[in-house]
Amino acid sequence: MTRRIGIDVGGTNTDAAVIDAGAVVATAKTPTTEDVLTGISDALAAVPHHDVDTVVIGTTHFTNAVVQRQDLNRVGFVRLCLPSGRSLPPLVGWPTDLADAVRGRTAMITGGVEYDGRPFEQLDEAAVIEAARRFGDAGIDAVVVAGSFSPVDPTQEERAAELVCEHLPGARVTLSHRLGRLGLLERENAAGLNACLLDLADTTIDAFSSALDDAGLDEGTRLFLTQNDGTLLTVDEARRHPVLTFASGPTNSMRGAALLAGVEDGLVVDVGGTTADFGALVGGYPRQANAAVDVGEVRTLFQLPDLLSVGLGGGSRIRVELGGNVTIGPDSVGQRLLTEALCFGGSVPTLTDAAVKAGRLVIDGAVSPDALGVDPGAVLAVAAELVAEGADRLKLTAAEAPLVAVGGGAFAVPDRLPGISDVLRPPHADTANAVGAALAEVSGEVDRVFHELGREAAVAAALELAVQRAVAAGAVTETVRPIEVEDLPLAYLAGDARRVRVRVVGSLAHR
Amino acid sequence: MGRALTITDVDDLAVGAWIIGTGGGGSPHLNHLNVRQVMSGGRTFEMIDPTELEDDARVAVVSTMGAPLVMQERLQDSRDVARAVEIMADHIGAPFDAVMATEIGGSNAFQPLMAAAHLDIPVVDADAMGRAYPEAQMTSFAIAGLQPWPLSLVDPRGIEAVISHVPTWKWMERASRVLTVETGSMAATCKAPRTGAEVKRWSVANSMSLAIGLGATVRRARAEHADPVEAVADAAGGRRLFGGKVTDVERRTTGGFLRGMAVVEGLDGWSGQRLELDFQNEWLVARLDGQPIATVPHLICLLDAESGTAIGTETARYGQRASLLAIPAPDLFRSEAGLRYVGPRAMGYDLDPVDPLS
């Protein structure tokens, strides 16, 4: 019982990969189905699935629900911030249609913490109880609790959650400090997106479990999901925090690329039909974004990879400007590549056509794209520039770095690029996302402000806490190692205050 | 007659104020949201030209002091800004006719609007810096030798103070900073009130409409796929001095300030050249291959070469395509008196000021 199956449910395809002792033994690509479940069953059926210890699923299902405003819960918000913050209530800045779909009741309550952990105000417990009753009367059971500086001291959020559960039986509470970083509104937004997905999380994960049962997997086979940082999410944790799966698609692809190419530190580009997605690897993991990231047009700040998307893909349209300049994209024929591109008998010049004409890409049965009307070498040179610039933007230093190229449009990446030491094209690159899911590890993260400790002691304290969290999530203690350590001295604040953010990962213990 | 501000104006202000924040001043995002929120409730704002003020008009001067991180957690209530103005009105025993910004660069550009949201008075199209500066006394009013007192300060927990007298502007900065730090590193303040005559004579006039205009310029340039940096340079009477890629950023905090240096390696016409930008919260000195090409008090703005949005000293990072835009400071800040407050030597550099247009 050593095998792990990774399944990545994308918008178009559901990919599966079987891993044994760290090596890929089988892969499969099947169409994603409307009900998701069938697609997963099909993918499982397409690979050998005996002697399986663990199945790991990466899914964009929850992201899509937010983007499409479908199957969302109404949420009750408890904000602990008064007497500050009144003019910026929960859901401020959300797109109106999404706010309308998610808004249940909101309560702004006296409480919150200062940057050094002292209370801003004592928590008004009576007001929390009153809010819980009002939520109950309105039939709301998905609740967000968000308090100022809760990542520094979460006690008030935890106490408020206790009171909500006491006075609103069956309440499912999302605590902002469990998800987000400093920045109350962005953290509360992440918690709000999470809370609105709780019903969907239950039905989806139930469906995943039955897909595994239907496929005849051993009863003891463990099921995990993957989260935004490329590590494992237990099924229980996924039911509580579905928002942690939001970016698992690109993340799994980057993780898989890193593992398949054996690259720990470097860059990854996943070139699809419409876009090229760039990411950076640190210790084999996608580097995390440090700035606010918009998810479904909501500004959030939580665990998300640092990604750059450029309008360059196999289906990107080629144009020649008046002065003779060649441009690529950003528009693309997308999924209509097989009917609209010149080399498939269509009438639209695409990047794929230029590659075929230049002899860089050989496609069985393709016709010669004679109507390209431009030197294919010039097109590929422009593509190379776009790739070089995208890769460079993800770097943190000028030093050369390897670039792993995956995805169906990886032919757009030339073998030599400025600032790139090597271009790597690993095997199984077309199912890198499923491989990334199958090989996911367990993580622990800490992000908080430390005082008067000095840099070394503050980082050590943060690491210790992160290791505890990883082990609690199922990591083998001896394998846990830091993959991201960052500290920022805080300008303006007195008393050697520094914000420390660390992430650690370790291997999942066998069952 | 004043001008009624639209939602588009305040959206443009958020972009423009961040540009003339010269790398600091704090992101306007939350204050912008605050003002949008009151506007969605039907509130309107009137912006008047300083020349519309009577000589004996009373003008409140507002800003919030503190750490950006605390602002992101506390989420300032616009009522607190208005409250600082009310306390000052009580202290001087007379109501205000208008409200203006101390600092048009960065988040404080929105403070007069946040105050006006709860007070029935117009906002003056002016400020006392014409940009952002690291310290509260670095204002045109201080350079002019105007009276630095009194100052009112508000923490929403009912902590309200008036500093009724200080001997110098520097003492006002120190006294108000102590109170701000003690209340958790964030407080709304109303500075020494100004008369209409003082505002007309000594403020940086039309700086709010300039910021709105720069934001509008960026918006239009993007829509027309034109070069936003060139457009901003034209609109601001400034010049693009350099274009390249950020290749290194070194930061440290000392004495409550974020200090350090960013390096930009030249691209295109500047290929092979190297730009070094020193900062203390804001960009202070720009050196091209070792030679100063722009210094305070002139505005040193680093803009994203593609989008035209500002790159802050806290947000600059390797790989960004950046253009250096320099805008001459108003004459008052270039005078001998002005340089004592905001010249390179006031910021600890043994340098004469360098006019970027010379």
Report pLDDT digits (tens) over A481-495: 988 787 776 655 566
Element (H, E) at A456: helix A455-472
Domain coordinates in residue numbering, chain A: 1-68+197-246, 73-196, 264-428, 441-506
Structure confidence at residue A492 (pLDDT): 52
Among chain B residues, the shortest Cα distance to A122 is held by B157
Average pLDDT over residues A453-476: 90
DSSP designation for A228: T
Domain coordinates in residue numbering, chain B: 3-205, 227-347
pTM recorded for the entire structure: 0.89
In the structure encoding, which two tokens stand for residue A29, read together? 């690509």
Q: Does B267 touch chain A (CB under 8 A)?
A: no
Test A492 with B67 for CB contact under 8 angstroms. yes
Dihedral angle, C-alpha A30, A35, A36, A40, nearest 10 °: -60
Contact list in A for residue B320 (CB cut-off 8 A) is: 393
Residue A348 has pLDDT above 80, yes or no: yes
Test A92 with B79 for CB contact under 8 angstroms. no
Cα separation, A184 vs A149, whole angstroms: 7
Q: Please, are residues A106 and B142 in contact by the beta-carbon 8 Å criterion?
A: no
**Picking from A100-104, A178-182, A221-225, which range would have the lowest pLDDT averaged per residue?**
A178-182
Q: Does A88 touch chain B (CB under 8 A)?
A: yes
Among chain B residues, the shortest Cα distance to A290 is held by B315
Q: Please, are residues A135 and A171 in contact by the beta-carbon 8 Å criterion?
A: yes
In the structure encoding, which two tokens stand for residue B223, read together? 């829509």
Contact list in A for residue B78 (CB cut-off 8 A) is: 87
Test A491 with B72 for CB contact under 8 angstroms. no
- From residue A109, alpha-carbon distances to B37, B72, B121 in Å are 20, 18, 30
Q: Please, are residues A281 and A267 in contact by the beta-carbon 8 Å criterion?
A: yes
Contact list in A for residue B245 (CB cut-off 8 A) is: 392
Average pLDDT over residues A181-210: 94
Residue A347 has pLDDT above 80, yes or no: yes
Q: Which of A115, A291, A393 sits opposite B69 (nearest CB)?
A: A115
Contacts of B167 (CB under 8 A, 6+ apart): none
The single-letter code of the amino acid at A18 is V
| Fold held by A73-196 | Rossmann fold (3.40.50)
Q: Please, are residues A443 and A416 in contact by the beta-carbon 8 Å criterion?
A: no
> B227-347 maps to which CATH number?
2.40.390.10
Q: Identify from A77, A86, A87, A392 which residue to disrupt to test chain B contact, counting B C-beta atoms within 10 A and taking the largest count.
A: A87
Q: Please, are residues B106 and B23 in contact by the beta-carbon 8 Å criterion?
A: no
**pLDDT tens per residue across span A248-277:** 888 999 999 999 999 999 999 999 888 899
**pLDDT tens per residue across span A76-89:** 999 999 999 999 99
Contacts of A162 (CB under 8 A, 6+ apart): none
Q: Does B281 touch chain A (CB under 8 A)?
A: yes
The percent of chain B in helix, strand and coil, each rounded to the nearest 5, is: 35, 30, 35
Test B75 with A394 for CB contact under 8 angstroms. no
Cα separation, B233 vs B238, whole angstroms: 5
Closest Cα to residue A286, out of A312, A243, A247?
A247
Q: Please, are residues A438 and A432 in contact by the beta-carbon 8 Å criterion?
A: no
Q: Does A394 touch chain B (CB under 8 A)?
A: yes
Average pLDDT of chain A is 90
Q: How many CB pairs under 8 A join A and B?
A: 118
Report residue A95's pLDDT band, with 50, 70 and 90 as the boundaries: very high
Test A489 with B77 for CB contact under 8 angstroms. no
Residue A418 has pLDDT above 60, yes or no: yes
- CA A163 from chain centre, in angstroms, equals 32
Test A85 with B74 for CB contact under 8 angstroms. yes
Contact list in B for residue A397 (CB cut-off 8 A) is: 247-248, 318
Q: Which of B69, B248, B258 sits opposite A182 (nearest CB)?
A: B69
Closest Cα to residue A185, out of A117, A90, A49?
A90
Test B69 with A92 for CB contact under 8 angstroms. no
Contacts of A421 (CB under 8 A, 6+ apart): A400, A401, A402
Report the half-sphere exposure of A119 (CA within 13 A, side-chain side): 13
Architecture of domain A264-428: 2-Layer Sandwich (3.30)
Test A88 with B245 for CB contact under 8 angstroms. no
Q: Please, are residues A313 and A276 in contact by the beta-carbon 8 Å criterion?
A: yes
CA distance A87 to chain B (A): 5
The single-letter code of the amino acid at A492 is Y
Cα three-residue angle B351-B353-B358, rounded to 5 degrees: 130
B307-310 long-range contacts, Cβ below 8 Å, gap at least 24?
A: B307/B218, B307/B222, B307/B228, B308/B217, B308/B218, B308/B221, B308/B222, B308/B228, B308/B229, B308/B231, B308/B232, B309/B15, B309/B18, B309/B19, B309/B218, B310/B15, B310/B18, B310/B19, B310/B21, B310/B23
Q: Identify from B30, B38, B69 which residue to disrupt to test chain A contact, counting A C-beta atoms within 10 A and taking the largest count.
A: B69
Phi, psi of B321 (to 5 degrees): -85, 120
The single-letter code of the amino acid at A161 is A
More confident residue, A476 or A49: A476
Q: Please, are residues B189 and B75 in contact by the beta-carbon 8 Å criterion?
A: no
CATH 3.40.1610.10 fits domain B3-205: yes
DSSP designation for B343: S
> pLDDT 10s per residue in chain B (358 long)?
689 999 999 999 999 999 999 999 999 999 999 999 999 999 999 999 999 999 999 999 999 998 888 999 999 999 999 999 999 999 999 999 999 999 999 999 999 999 999 999 999 999 999 999 988 889 999 999 999 999 999 999 999 999 999 999 999 999 999 999 899 999 999 999 999 999 999 999 999 999 999 999 999 998 888 899 999 999 999 999 999 999 888 887 776 677 899 999 998 899 999 999 999 989 999 999 999 999 999 999 999 988 899 999 988 888 888 999 999 999 999 999 999 999 999 999 999 999 988 7
Q: Identify from A79, A84, A310 which residue to disrupt to test chain B contact, counting B C-beta atoms within 10 A and taking the largest count.
A: A84
Contact list in B for residue A93 (CB cut-off 8 A) is: 33, 36
Contact list in B for residue A487 (CB cut-off 8 A) is: none
CA distance B158 to chain A (A): 9
Residue keyed to tokens 């499923």: A434
Alpha helical stretches, state H, B93-227:
111-116, 140-143, 169-182, 196-202, 207-223
Dihedral angle, C-alpha A478, A479, A482, A483, nearest 10 °: 180
**Picking from A103-112, A367-376, A429-438, which range would have the lowest pLDDT averaged per residue?**
A367-376
Report residue A350's pLDDT band, with 50, 70 and 90 as the boundaries: very high
Q: Does B225 touch chain A (CB under 8 A)?
A: no
In the structure encoding, which two tokens stand for residue B121, read together? 């008075």
Cα separation, A59 vs A10, whole angstroms: 7
Average pLDDT over residues A449-455: 81
**pLDDT tens per residue across span A469-480:** 999 888 999 999
Test B75 with A84 for CB contact under 8 angstroms. yes
With H, G, I as helix, E, B as strand and everything else as coil, classify residue A340.
Answer: helix
Residue A149 has pLDDT above 60, yes or no: yes
Contact list in B for residue A149 (CB cut-off 8 A) is: 73
Test B69 with A121 for CB contact under 8 angstroms. no
Structure confidence at residue A490 (pLDDT): 62
Please state, for a pLDDT cut of 70, what percent of chain A lies above it. Answer: 98
Residue keyed to tokens 């995208």: A390
Q: Does B315 touch chain A (CB under 8 A)?
A: yes
Contact list in B for residue A87 (CB cut-off 8 A) is: 34, 37-38, 75-79, 114
Residue A74 has pLDDT above 70, yes or no: yes
Q: Which of B75, B80, B253 sits opposite A491 (nearest CB)?
A: B253
Q: Does B313 touch chain A (CB under 8 A)?
A: no
Test B75 with A114 for CB contact under 8 angstroms. no
**Chain A stretch 187-246, residues whose beta carbon is closer than 8 A to a beta carbon of chain B:** none
SS3 of A119-163: the string is ECCCCCHHHHHHHHHHHHHCCCCEEEEEECCCCCCCHHHHHHHHH
**pLDDT tens per residue across span A12-37:** 778 999 999 889 999 998 877 777 78
Structure confidence at residue A17 (pLDDT): 95
Test A93 with B33 for CB contact under 8 angstroms. yes
In the structure encoding, which two tokens stand for residue A475, read together? 């990591």
Q: Please, are residues B173 and B133 in contact by the beta-carbon 8 Å criterion?
A: no
Contact list in B for residue A114 (CB cut-off 8 A) is: 184
Q: Which of A184, A291, A489 sits opposite B72 (nearest CB)?
A: A184
Domains A1-68+197-246 and A73-196 are alike in CATH topology: no
Among chain B residues, the shortest Cα distance to A90 is held by B75
Q: Does A476 touch chain B (CB under 8 A)?
A: no
Positive or negative: CA dihedral B66, B69, B73, B78: positive
Q: Which of B75, B80, B315 sits opposite A291 (nearest CB)?
A: B315
Superfamily of domain A1-68+197-246: ATPase, nucleotide binding domain (3.30.420.40)
Cα separation, B137 vs B38, whole angstroms: 30
With H, G, I as helix, E, B as strand and everything else as coil, classify residue B165.
Answer: coil
